[in-house]
Amino acid sequence: MADSLKNKASIVGIGTTPFTKNSGVSELSLACQAVRAAIDEAGLKPSDVDGLVTFLLDSSDEIEVARSTGIGDLTFFSQVNYGGGAAVGLIHQAAMAIATGSAKYVVVYRAMNGRSGHRMGQGVSGQVVTSDLIHWSWYTPFGLLTPASWIAMSAQRYMHEYGATRDHLATVALTQRDHAQANPNATTRGRTLSREEYFSARMVSRPLGLYDCCQETDGGCALVITSPERARDLASKPAQIRAVSQASFEGQEQMTSFYRPDIARLPEMEMAARAVYTQAGLGPEDIDAACLYDAFTIEVLMQLESFGFCGVGEAKDFIVDGALTLGGRLPNNTHGGLLSEGYIHGLNNIAEGVRLVRGTSCNQPERADHVLVSSGVGVPTGAMILGCAE
């Protein structure tokens, strides 16, 4: 069963809207624009699409999108839970639908007015008493209200145990900001970042400061998934899904898995790593480039260890000498990532993974045969490996 989804589906289309700070349109409009753009890019007609998958957090339901884009009939539709952890889950759902014949062409999407509308950093609150609301209520009275504050708790412990410093976090932030300068759709294009600016910016939730946090973005992103056989007949070079898996680990909470013995590691990400390496028959040494989920800089360091690119606690040493840059051992988030391209909840990182395999990234490394992409950190999550068609 471990390799059951290996090479069973390919990503054949990418669509994005402009990423801005104020879209001036509804989230449904963004979703429809992104979905249509992805379908067009794949060289398909809307009516070819019979499956839609999105985030549970997305405000645009599948049927609204189907109706507005002319997709029409659907045989498969689904939503995946847990914030940014859902991104890879969308691909997982789509790949299963394709592999089982439940759908022929699935479009996955995420559209949000993340800056002009509901801002993720504005804290949790709620009216209906669900288990989720009770979960948050162990933290809200104490002022632990935002994603930055949740991840800061693990960051502090991680840095305490392994001697990583804000200087190392700065390296992640600066590298990705550099990458974004070549990306026409990056919200930070034209705004370079110096180490001095990084350190003089205000703190958000110590040890995380302003530039450790991702962009708040308005925008949409969509991807088209189909079978490798159908992919051959389409215009663009497909990115084949070598492996995809979701992962939620024992003691999992959303962003607050504080009760496991070791909070300085990401066991759900280690679990995802084991799953995708086994499924693809690959190891970390085979991965040429990555799009590691980067809502916060610290997450990149921790994942380098989860995915075995270095030993536990060694990420701070791994990243010196430009390992994450274009010419380095593991070019990471070559588009700028969530930190510097924009925060479309990680779906835009998967889009970059596809571009890397196609060879069309704005910062294309010499070699990108296998690209690793992960979704949300600190939440039930997942990972995937993309490669060229076989």
Partner 1 sequence: MDPDLTELEGRLQQFIGRTIGPPVVARDCVTEAAIRQFCDVIGDRNPAYRDAESAVETRHAGVVAPPAMMQSWVLDGPPREGIEKARTEQDRLYDLLSEYGYTSALGTSSEEHYERYLRPGDKVSAETVIESVTGPKKTGLGEGWFITTRTTFRDNADAVVGWIEFRVLKFAPKQSVARESEQPATRDPERPSRIKPPMARDNAWWWQAVEKGRLPIQRCAQCGQLRHPPRPMCDACGSVEFDSIDACGRGSVHSFTVVEHPQFPGYEYPIIVVLIDLAEGERIVSNLIDCAPDDCRIGMPVEVVFETGEDGMVLPLFRPAEASS
The kind and range of the H/E element at 281 are none
Q: Is residue 122 a contact residue for partner 1 (CB under 8 A)?
A: yes
Nearer to partner 1, 146 or 361 (CB): 146
Q: Is residue 220 a contact residue for partner 1 (CB under 8 A)?
A: no
For partner 1, which residue of 1, 24, 73, 131 counts as binding (CB under 8 A)? 131
Calculate the CA dihedral of residues 311, 314, 319, 324 and round it to 10 degrees: 30
Q: Is residue 146 a contact residue for partner 1 (CB under 8 A)?
A: yes
Would you give the binding string for partner 1 spanning residues 236-265, x where CB under 8 A is met? --------------------x-xx---x--
Query: Smallest gap, in angstroms, from Cβ of residue 141 to partner 1?
Result: 5
User: One-letter amino acid identity for 268?
Assistant: E
Q: Is residue 137 a contact residue for partner 1 (CB under 8 A)?
A: yes
Q: Encoding tokens for residue 380?
A: 């039930």
Nearer to partner 1, 139 or 198 (CB): 139
Query: Smallest gap, in angstroms, from Cβ of residue 249 to partner 1?
Result: 13
Nearer to partner 1, 139 or 318 (CB): 139
Query: Smallest gap, in angstroms, from Cβ of residue 222 to partner 1?
Result: 30
Footprint on residues 156-215 left by partner 1 (CB under 8 A): 156-157, 160, 202-208
Instruction: Please give the size of the binding site for partner 1, defined by CB under 8 A.
Output: 40
Determine the Cα–Cα distance for residues 112 and 59; give it in Å rounded to an integer.
Answer: 8
The kind and range of the H/E element at 355 are helix 347-358
Q: Which residues of 295-331 are buried (b: 16+ CB within 10 A; e: fewer)?
A: bbbbbbbbbbbbbbbbeebebbebbeeebbbbebbbb
Phi-psi region of 7 (alpha: psi -120 to 50; beta: other; left: phi over 0): left
Helical packing angle, 297-306 and 267-280, nearest 10°: 50
Query: Smallest gap, in angstroms, from Cβ of residue 162 to partner 1?
Result: 13
Q: Nearest to residue 239, comparing CAs of 86, 349, 359?
A: 359
For partner 1, which residue of 1, 24, 142, 327 counts as binding (CB under 8 A)? 142
Determine the Cα–Cα distance for residues 37 and 160; give it in Å rounded to an integer.
Answer: 46
Active site residue 293: yes
Tell me whether the omega of the peptide bond preceding residue 207 falls within 30 degrees of 0, making it cis.
yes
Q: Is residue 297 a contact residue for partner 1 (CB under 8 A)?
A: no
Q: What is the largest CA-CA distance in the chain?
A: 56
So which residues are the catalytic ones? 293, 343
Which residues contact partner 1 by CB under 8 A? 121-126, 129, 131, 133-135, 137-146, 149, 152-157, 160, 202-208, 256, 258-259, 263
